[in-house]
Amino acid sequence: MQRPFSPGRLSGAQIPRLAPGAVQTAAEAAPTAAEAVPATACPRCRGKLADPEGLGYCPRCGFCRAVEREKAQAQTAAAQKQFDSIQSQISTATAELTTLQEQIRAAKSGTNSTP
Residues that bind Zn ion (CB under 5 A): 42, 44-45, 47, 58, 60-61, 63
In whole angstroms, the minimum distance from the beta carbon of 43 to Zn ion comes to 8
Strand partners, 67: none
- DSSP code for 36: P
Q: Are 84 and 92 in contact (CB under 8 A)?
A: no
Pick between residue 62 and residue 72 the one whose CB is nearest to Zn ion: 62
Pick between residue 44 and residue 55 the one whose CB is nearest to Zn ion: 44
In whole angstroms, the minimum distance from the beta carbon of 62 to Zn ion comes to 7
Vertex 44: Cα angle to 40 and 50 (nearest 5): 35
3-class DSSP state for residue 10? helix
In whole angstroms, the minimum distance from the beta carbon of 63 to Zn ion comes to 4
In whole angstroms, the minimum distance from the beta carbon of 20 to Zn ion comes to 31
- Alpha-carbon torsion 63, 37, 22, 28, what sign? negative
Pick between residue 31 and residue 47 the one whose CB is nearest to Zn ion: 47
Strand partners, 57: 64
Pick between residue 60 and residue 69 the one whose CB is nearest to Zn ion: 60
